[in-house]
Amino acid sequence: MQGTVTQPHVSSGGNIRRGITRARIVGTIGIIVATLLIFAITSRVGADKVSVLNIPQPGAPQNQPLFRIPLPTVATVVVIQGLLGVAGLYVALRQPLRWIAAYVSAVIGFAFFTILLWAVAGSSVDLVDVLARVVRLATPITLGALAGLICERSGVVNIGIEGTMLFSAAFGYIAAILTGNTWLGVLAALLTGCLVSALHALLSVNFKVDQIISGTVINLLAVGVTGYLRGGFISPYEQSSGATLTAQALPGLPIPGLAQIPVIGPILFNHQPITYLMLILVFVINLLLFRTVWGLRTRAVGEQPKAADTVGIPVNRLRFWNVVASGLISGLAGAWFSLESTFRFDDVMTSGRGFIALAAMIFGKWTPLGAFGGALLFSSADALQIKIQGFNFGLPRQFLQMLPYLVTLVVLAGIIGRARPPAAVGKPYEKG
Amino acid sequence: MAVQVDVPLAPTRRHRAAALFRAALVPALAILTALVIGAIIIWFSAPSNRGTRLEVVVAAYRGLFAGAFGSRVAIANTLVEATPYILAGLAVTVAFKCGLFNIGAEGQLFMGALASTTVGFTITGLPAIIHLPLALIAGAVAAGLWGAIPGYLRARTGAHEVITTIMFNFIAFRLVDYFIVSGPLRDRRASLPRTPFIQANAQLPRFVGPLEPANLTGGQEYRPLIVTTDPGWNIRLHLGFLIALLAVWIIWWLLNRTTTGFEIRTVGANPEAARYAGMSITKNFVLTMALSGALAGLAGAGQALGLERNMKSLFSSGYGFDSIAIALLARSNPIAIIPAAIFWGALNTGKGEMQALTGISSDLIRIIQALVIMFVAADQIVRWIFRIRQAHGEQMVFSRGWGK
């Protein structure tokens, strides 16, 4: 509320604002994080320890990497965090407002890198595998963020994305085990996403229910209904059919030729179908939103519905169909959970990814490319915690599992004040 | 928009009855609609060996009612089940009043239960009159602090509480998991991951019932207020129920009869006007979320100290999430929380009997509950079905955008 009222852009070197400002807090926290990490690593890791980052040759055995980058653990961390500390001092003193988001991202990103180096001190890690994992785990978050973005750009808040994903994951999985065809499962997931989103559209656009409440209703419904389905149908069906389940998770599709390129190949061209679709959708939606009539109308309806109405754009009809279309994307994200990342359905298996997706959307300032960047930030927290559970790292696994949620909090609290949502978001439109 | 416009003249008894009827009409119709749809689902999923489909539907709802209210033990169980719902529903209601949507009751409940259990078993040798309040306060304070952080973040940075409280939920689950499964609070002698049993002096005593044998409770002898061996009086209702009722009264008084409550409601109704009138939005957001968290924490403390007597890794059964439904059902009226919570508790208690009588999966109750949530939240659907006009000034508004 107060303190976050939009201040005019102050370019660096302009008038310095006094008191406790966002820049000062962010800069100070950056300095504290850098100091803590330097202190921790110098006291806990021997100076002679080396962290080896491997860049493998695709297709070749693991023990013959293309490159082997040995980094002296302590020295590398001290240099990186030292530079970040100095940058923090600059942010706190000069208050360059437009660099705050970049600085927060850098602090988080390099904190991850430091933890990775720390975890593999005296051993080696396949860096490309970590990065490929980051892209893979960004899939549901990016898709969720794109779904949220389509809704919010037209003025509808959709916090029901988490629930929509869960519904789609459950019904997609049920269709897959019933028909024995995973692709039909994906189709069912898409359809489910559309129907659930249509409910949100009906409630929030037509009945003008508060959009946050409508989204929460969908989230609660999803937990109840999918729990009923798993206990009452999925588990008994799996037990009765035993090993005869014919369907399995979507296959990996390495793109011939491209997948063999070192570094880039495994990161971008050796994935499963939904991950490819996610990468394509980021650019497609960016194009649609900023280069087509539909995109212009959507943005107009989200910013100035009254003006849009005056020039003849059917505000509520556009909003309705945008929300329904977002269900296709949430449905795809749901399919990722139960049909691509694994072939299984667990209770509440989306574990908050739908909410993290909204944070990614806000981080990306309601643009598809920015949202993808935010999703990469969050998924690297995920990838990191999964990867270093294999190493004998000092922290218990539960604390590592908190990482994505903590990062979401830090990003929301550190950056959102600068973010400006579409002007009409959350407000039902009434003619007249 | 969220304020109820109070009529300054003393209302007559008849006016009050009419107002009560109007307020209860839509929630009641929402429940009715959900039960009718539930009946349709039972009709189509009725097993063939239990009589005609109509008989199965009747038997199912009769079983549900008998299971919830059919005997002294059943009624007690319903009230036991309603206790955490009253407190957690109250938590969500308080936040509603300030225009905040606390989805984090579940995590706050976990933190409260963890703190009060820890105080309950680590400290020994205190008399009950000190130990029990200490354990309850520990739960309320821990959960209050846990809830206050999202309130502060919302006020100072604009981070929306709907997302931050969810993140705090996940962090709380992992934290509790750490302490109980692999951390310092685990009882090393127990095969299942759980904390040791709390001291007998820290328990919320049951009203009536038998002594619990010490060999089942880690050496602690839990004594109810009135000891009896009569199996008809072996009921689990504990002091926590009275605490919940007391909390309802205190919150009603706080919201409607104090300056603090006035400020909270004003900030909820119109933050701009509140700020113009000199009220601190940060202070009220933090205070409200702390209060909300403390209530949810008491719900967790009640479960830990009154029922479980220890904390397991699989602790809550979604009381925190269902509490959102209860707050909506009660239309964020503190007094109405009580019947809403008892209704919810009755569904949970009665479903076993329903399954036993008809073979319908007790998970059906989750669908009925989900439908109730939908119809209550989206009361426009109910109004549309039953052709009821919207009264003025009844709506709550939470969608205020993400950054402001």
H/E run at residue A69:
strand A67-72
* B-interface mutation test, from A206, A398, A406, A427, most B Cβ less than 10 A away: A398
Name every chain B residue with its beta carbon within 8 A of the beta carbon of A355: 162-163, 166-167
Residue A147 and residue A107 share a domain: no
d(CA A343, CA A168): 14
Q: Does A389 touch chain B (CB under 8 A)?
A: no
DSSP assignment of B179-244, as one string? IIIISTTS-TT-SSSBPPPPPGGGS--BSEEPPPPGGGTTT-----SEE---GGG----BTHHHHH
Distance from CA of B17 to the nearest CA of A (A): 28
Residue A196 and residue A140 share a domain: yes
Residue ending a domain, among A73, A105, A122, is: A122
DSSP state of B312: B
Residue A293 and residue A384 share a domain: yes
Give Cα separations from A86 to A28, A80, A103, A109, B52 (angstroms).
11, 10, 11, 16, 79
**Interior angle at CA B303, CA B301 and CA B307, nearest 5:** 130
User: Which residues, 6 or more positions from A342, have their beta carbon under 8 angstroms from its beta carbon?
Assistant: A249
Helix, strand or coil, per DSSP, at residue A398: helix
Name every chain A residue with its beta carbon within 8 A of the beta carbon of B396: 210, 213
Contact B282 A2 (CB under 8 A): yes
The answer to whether the beta carbons of residues A174 and A335 sit under 8 Å apart is no
B86-350 in CATH: which number? 1.10.3470
Residue of B141, B164, B92, B160 whose CA lies nearest to B319: B92
- The whole-number pLDDT of residue B392 equals 52
Look at residue A247 and tell me if it is in a domain: yes
- The whole-number pLDDT of residue A6 equals 42
d(CA A405, CA A410): 9
B114 phi and psi angles, rounded to 5 deg: -65, -45
Largest CA distance in chain A: 74
pLDDT digits (tens, 9 = 90+) for A145-195: 999 999 999 999 999 999 999 999 999 999 999 998 999 999 999 999 999
Tally the C-alpha atoms within 13 A of residue A273's C-alpha that lie toward its C-beta: 10
Write down the pTM of the prediction: 0.88
Task: Tell the burial category of B223 from Cβ atoms under 10 Å away from its Cβ (0-12, 13-18, 19+).
Answer: middle
d(CA B389, CA B207): 46
Closest in A212, A228, A420 to B101, CB measured? A212
Q: How far is CA A204 from the centre of its chain?
A: 25
The token pair that represents B267 in the structure block = 């900030």
The answer to whether the beta carbons of residues B331 and B162 sit under 8 Å apart is no
Residue A206 and residue A100 share a domain: no
Look at residue A172 and tell me if it is in a domain: yes
d(CA B171, CA A405): 7
Residue ending a domain, among A122, A145, A180, is: A122
Q: Does B360 touch chain A (CB under 8 A)?
A: no
Those of residues 36-95 in B touching chain A at CB distance below 8 A are none
Those of residues 166-225 in A touching chain B at CB distance below 8 A are 203, 207-214, 216-217, 220-221, 223-225
The answer to whether the beta carbons of residues A422 and A303 sit under 8 Å apart is yes
Name every chain A residue with its beta carbon within 8 A of the beta carbon of B174: 398-399, 401-402
Look at residue A270 and tell me if it is in a domain: yes
d(CA B194, CA B303): 14
d(CA B370, CA B34): 9
DSSP state of A126: E
Residue A306 and residue A241 share a domain: yes
d(CA B288, CA B269): 14
**Interior angle at CA A383, CA A378 and CA A385, nearest 5:** 100
Helix, strand or coil, per DSSP, at residue B72: helix
Name every chain A residue with its beta carbon within 8 A of the beta carbon of B374: 217, 221
Residue numbers of the domain that contains A87: 22-122
Residue A307 and residue A167 share a domain: yes
Residue A133 and residue A117 share a domain: no
Look at residue A425 and tell me if it is in a domain: no
Which residues in B23-46 are b (16+ Cβ under 10 Å) and which e? beebbebbbebbbebbbebbeeeb
The CATH number for A280's domain is 1.10.3470
Q: Does B152 touch chain A (CB under 8 A)?
A: no
Look at residue A429 and tell me if it is in a domain: no
Which residue is listed with tokens 């009747």?
B58
pLDDT over 80 at A425, yes or no = yes
Closest in B164, B328, B384 to A409, CB measured? B164
H/E run at residue A125:
strand A124-126
d(CA A121, CA A73): 6
Name every chain B residue with its beta carbon within 8 A of the beta carbon of A220: 321, 324-325, 370, 373
Residue A117 and residue A139 share a domain: no
Mean pLDDT is lowest, of A170-174, A264-268, A426-430, B46-50, for B46-50
d(CA A3, CA A419): 13
**Interior angle at CA A295, CA A289 and CA A297, nearest 5:** 155
d(CA A305, CA A154): 9
Those of residues 8-27 in A touching chain B at CB distance below 8 A are 22
Write down the domain spans for chain B.
86-350
Helices first, then strands: H and E counts in chain A? 17, 5
The token pair that represents A68 in the structure block = 């082997």
Task: Tell the burial category of B187 from Cβ atoms under 10 Å away from its Cβ (0-12, 13-18, 19+).
Answer: middle
**Interior angle at CA B398, CA A286 and CA B157, nearest 5:** 70
d(CA B42, CA B58): 10
Q: Does A234 touch chain B (CB under 8 A)?
A: no
The fraction of chain A above a pLDDT of 90, given in percent, is: 48
Judged by phi (left if over 0) then psi (alpha if -120 to 50, else beta), residue B262 lies in alpha
pLDDT digits (tens, 9 = 90+) for A391-418: 767 778 888 889 889 988 888 887 655 6
d(CA A41, CA A32): 14
Those of residues 264-293 in B touching chain A at CB distance below 8 A are 271, 275, 281-282, 285
Name every chain A residue with its beta carbon within 8 A of the beta carbon of B158: 1, 4, 416-417
Look at residue A76 and tell me if it is in a domain: yes
DSSP assignment of B257-291, as one string? HSHHHHHHHHHHH-HHHHHHTT--HHHHHHHHHHH
- The whole-number pLDDT of residue B46 equals 79
Contact A216 B318 (CB under 8 A): no
Name every chain B residue with its beta carbon within 8 A of the beta carbon of A410: none
Q: How far is CA A421 from the centre of its chain?
A: 18
Residue of A214, A398, A235 whose CA lies nearest to B375: A214
Look at residue A401 and tell me if it is in a domain: yes
Average pLDDT across chain A, whole number: 87
The token pair that represents B104 in the structure block = 């984090």
Look at residue A432 and tell me if it is in a domain: no
Number of domains in chain A: 2
User: Which residues, 6 or more positions from B235, have their beta carbon under 8 angstroms from its beta carbon?
Assistant: B72, B73, B76, B77, B206, B207, B208, B209
Residue A305 and residue A272 share a domain: yes
The answer to whether the beta carbons of residues A237 and A177 sit under 8 Å apart is yes
Those of residues 326-365 in A touching chain B at CB distance below 8 A are 351-352, 355, 358-359, 362
pLDDT over 80 at A252, yes or no = yes
Distance from CA of B280 to the nearest CA of A (A): 10
Distance from CA of A271 to the nearest CA of B (A): 29
Cβ neighbours, 10 Å, residue B181: 17
Judged by phi (left if over 0) then psi (alpha if -120 to 50, else beta), residue A262 lies in beta
pLDDT digits (tens, 9 = 90+) for A55-111: 888 877 777 788 888 999 999 999 999 999 999 999 888 888 778 878 888 998 899
Residue A329 and residue A413 share a domain: yes
Low-confidence ranges of chain B (pLDDT < 50): 1-3, 5, 7-8, 393-394, 403-404
Cβ neighbours, 10 Å, residue B340: 27
The identity of residue A1, as a single letter, is M
The token pair that represents A418 in the structure block = 């600068």
Cβ neighbours, 10 Å, residue A62: 10
Tally the C-alpha atoms within 13 A of residue A47's C-alpha that lie toward its C-beta: 0
Distance from CA of B305 to the nearest CA of A (A): 26
User: Which residues, 6 or more positions from A268, have their beta carbon under 8 angstroms from its beta carbon?
Assistant: A135, A258, A279
- The whole-number pLDDT of residue A153 equals 94
Contact B400 A426 (CB under 8 A): yes
Closest in B103, B163, B364 to A216, CB measured? B103
DSSP assignment of A315-330, as one string? HHHHHHHHHHHHHHHH
The answer to whether the beta carbons of residues A226 and A349 sit under 8 Å apart is no
Closest in A203, A224, A421 to B369, CB measured? A224
d(CA A209, CA B309): 42
Judged by phi (left if over 0) then psi (alpha if -120 to 50, else beta), residue B250 lies in alpha
Residue of A nearest to B376 (CA): A217
**Interior angle at CA B352, CA B347 and CA B356, nearest 5:** 135
d(CA B303, CA B315): 9
3-state helix, strand, coil in chain B (%, to 5): 70, 0, 30
The answer to whether the beta carbons of residues A215 and A200 sit under 8 Å apart is yes
Contact A4 B275 (CB under 8 A): no
Angle, helices A403-415 vs A100-119, to 10°: value is 160
The token pair that represents A356 in the structure block = 């993290």
Residue ending a domain, among A76, A95, A122, is: A122
DSSP assignment of A36-48, as one string? HHHHHHHHHS-TT
Name every chain A residue with its beta carbon within 8 A of the beta carbon of B286: none
